[in-house]
Structure 1
Amino acid sequence: MGGGIDFKHGGWAGTWGDGNYFPQKGIASYTLSPNRQRLFPHFWHTAVFNTFRRFRHQVLYVAPPFLIAYSLMDWATERNEYLNSKPGRAEASE
């Protein structure tokens, strides 16, 4: 990456980032004036509708497993509280 002799072209290329490299050919670059750029075109419109669209397409993949896991955890918590209560211990000891 450092400077040295350029064996392909037979000359000194300088150090990296020096800017004295051989001129590049066949590279086109385009720029847009900073005052012509729109940083957030249609930001709020896109954000609201894109979020709604993504939610609508993913809710059936996320909601059922979440509801099943929540109901299973709620049942397990209630069952644990019952088994550790006085009536639950009496039932388990019989």
Structure 2
Amino acid sequence: MTGGYAPKHGTWQQGWGGHIARPEKGVTSYTLSPNRQRLFPNFWHTAIFNTFRRFRHQVLYVAPPFIVAYSLMEWAVERNEYLNSKAGRAEAGEE
């Protein structure tokens, strides 16, 4: 038989690995014409408001640890500069 076999209720399709397979029941596929699709509908509007919404919900999880870490690093740098200065070495030498 050339051209394959088409039964009365459905068609034969090419399956995995080149095997002939019956169409699956209950599988529905929908398509939309390419000229009816909008690639970026409301892109700028959703980008601005979605970014603000995400930022608003996450800022309290990110900002406090960042502020604490930054303050700690700032204190450590200032303390290190002081201890390596002339006054800091004099203070450390007296103790």
Normalising by structure 2, we get a TM-score of 0.73
Same amino acid, percent of matched pairs: 78
In structure 2, the residue matched to 1:36 is 36
Query: Highest relative contact order (Cα 8 Å, sep 6+), 1 or 2?
Result: 1
Give CA-to-partner distance per residue, 1:38-64, whole Å, 9 cap, x none: 121111100001111111122122112
Structure 1: state its 5+ residue gaps: 1-13
In structure 2, do the counterparts of structure 1 residues 91 and 40 end up closer, same or farther at CA, with 3 Å as the change threshold?
same
Within a 5 Å distance, the mapping from 1:64-79 to structure 2 comes to 64-79=64-79
Give CA-to-partner distance per residue, 1:5-39, whole Å, 9 cap, x none: xxxxxxxxx87343732233332221111111112
| Alignment partners' CA distance in 1, 2:15 and 2:30 | 26
In structure 1, the residue matched to 2:7 is none
How many residues were matched structurally? 81
Structure 2: state its 5+ residue gaps: 1-13
| Alignment partners' CA distance in 1, 2:35 and 2:19 | 28
Normalising by structure 1, we get a TM-score of 0.74
In structure 2, do the counterparts of structure 1 residues 26 and 66 end up closer, same or farther at CA, with 3 Å as the change threshold?
closer
In structure 1, the residue matched to 2:3 is none
Within a 5 Å distance, the mapping from 1:16-27 to structure 2 comes to 16-18=16-18, 20-27=20-27
